[in-house]
Structure 1
Amino acid sequence: MKGGRDHFVPLSTAALTILRGLDRKLPPFAMSENTMLYLVQKPAPKGFGLPFTVHGFRSCFRDWAAETQDTPGEVVEMALAHAIRNKAEAAYRRGALIEKRRLLMQAWANYLLGRTN
């Protein structure tokens, strides 16, 4: 992850369901940053027009969270693995806000799946 630091991501129930359905005989793997780039560079489905970008997905998440959720901005920024710019705040922030981020990721998954929270 950026800055050589681990970034733990709490997964939604839908993401966990997908992972549980994978063949356990396959060796574990990590996606490189180019994996998503490869996937989004495929032609967009008809009706979408513009090509997709990884940054666009992240931007959509940020806009959705700001406009529709009561989640504090610091939780959203942490979900995006953004660095804390204020050095004093960064020095004292130790927690990962996992539970708050888990709720945010679940709400995002519900939104993407057309479910209401």
Structure 2
Amino acid sequence: MIESVVIITDQSPMGKNSALEAIRIGSGFVALGEYVNCQIVFTGDAVYLLNKNAKPEAIGMDSLDEVMEIADLSDLELYVVDKALQDAGMSTDDLVEYENLKIVTIDEVVELIENADTCFRF
């Protein structure tokens, strides 16, 4: 039985809902009757989704507010790769406020993956 999942999302949130759907799927895993530990890792262009100044609804995309509320209700763990944040020209001050949002190194991501029962890219 799967007890832990790591979802890696690296695609731009503009024009597609992949990163938002990763959060929805992760919340679904956590909400299952049997607890499934799920962590979502944002790297590459996916970090732009977590920019507190982004307004995806301005281009017809789903609002981040509802999805973050779902994540919060399920205590979903979100991770942002520090190098991806730096490459995007962003800092922690640019990120949405979320209690379970952590900045990690790529080595820490490797450790998350090694300790998970399964991992997939979304």
TM-score, normalised with respect to structure 2: 0.23
Select the structure of larger CA radius of gyration.
Answer: 1
Pick the structure with more helix per residue: 1
Pick the structure with more strand per residue: 2
